[in-house]
Amino acid sequence: MKNKERILEIIELLRGEYPVSRTALQFTTPFQLLIATILSAQCTDKRVNIVSKELFGKYPTPEDLAIADLHKLEQYIRSTGFYRQKAKNIKNSSITIIEKFNSQVPHTMEELITLPGVGRKTANVVLSSAYGISKGIAVDTHVKRLSYRLGLTDHTDPVKIELDLMELTPKAEWNDISLRLILHGRSICKAQVPKHECVCLSISVPKKEFRIILNLH
């Protein structure tokens, strides 16, 4: 089966198992989603949601975080890991958003990746989940792992993986395939599963079980 045919089968299987696809991060504004996504690096969404609820209660806007005491900000987000660098990025991104973008989170990939701590993955999450704009495919650790295990890419670099997925996947599915691969990676195809034993896409539906197994070399 060619990869372009395989991706369509994967999309259908994932849609059947995970009909609702949306980010697990909790937010009320594009700015809050941006901050939550920065916090999510090397941290679970569950932990981020706990931290961000308190954080946004104290600092809901760019103006609030731009003037926040850095040490106090670090303590709010300490449990998300890498908190010192994240605090600097959050504060500096808030300042940049105020000074360069009139306190509004940018709507373009080119502008978003100029913000401290924001790469393509974070930008894709914000564009798709906050603005409904598809400019790429967000590649986190789950998407990276499953894309390789499913034989959709030979790369390990997230940007190259994203380009491979964009070439294979219909644009209308770019946001959903990322979200559904993340869901599947969390629930079924976890990192702890040895590659030589991995059933990469094992999705149960009524009266039948579909499996797509990667033939490892």
Tokens representing 172? 């209308």
Average pLDDT, the chain: 90
Q: Tokens standing for 98?
A: 């105020």
Alpha helices in 103-169 (DSSP H): 109-112, 120-131, 141-149, 158-168
Reported residue count of the chain is: 217
Amino acid 187: pLDDT = 83
H or E, element range at 209: strand 208-212
d(CA 156, CA 178): 16
Q: Residue 3 CB: number of other CB atoms within 10 A?
A: 17
**pTM, rounded to two decimals:** 0.88
Respond yes or no: is residue 91 known to be catalytic: no
Q: Are 201 and 210 a contacting pair, CB within 8 Å?
A: yes
Q: Is the pLDDT of residue 208 over 50?
A: no
Q: What does the pLDDT average to over 124-139?
A: 97
Of these residues, 91, 121, 135, 144, which one is catalytic?
121
Report the range of poorest mean pLDDT among 16-25, 129-138, 183-192, 202-211: 202-211
pLDDT digits (tens, 9 = 90+) for 61-105: 999 999 999 999 999 999 999 999 999 999 999 999 999 999 999
**Residue 134 reports pLDDT greater than 60:** yes
- Write down the CATH number for the domain with range 30-131: 1.10.340.30
In the set 45, 86, 135, 140, the catalytic residue is 140
For the question of residue 100 being annotated catalytic, the response is no
Residue written as tokens 């701590």? 117
Write down the pLDDT at residue 198.
54
Question: What pLDDT was estimated at residue 5?
Answer: 84
For the stretch 163-190, pLDDT in tens is: 999 999 999 999 999 999 999 988 888 8
CATH code matching the domain that covers 3-21+137-212, chosen among 1.10.1670.10, 1.10.287.90, 3.40.309.10, 1.10.3720.10: 1.10.1670.10
pLDDT at 211: 60
Which residues in the chain are classed under CATH 1.10.1670.10? 3-21+137-212
Residue span(s) of the chain under CATH 1.10.340.30 come to 30-131
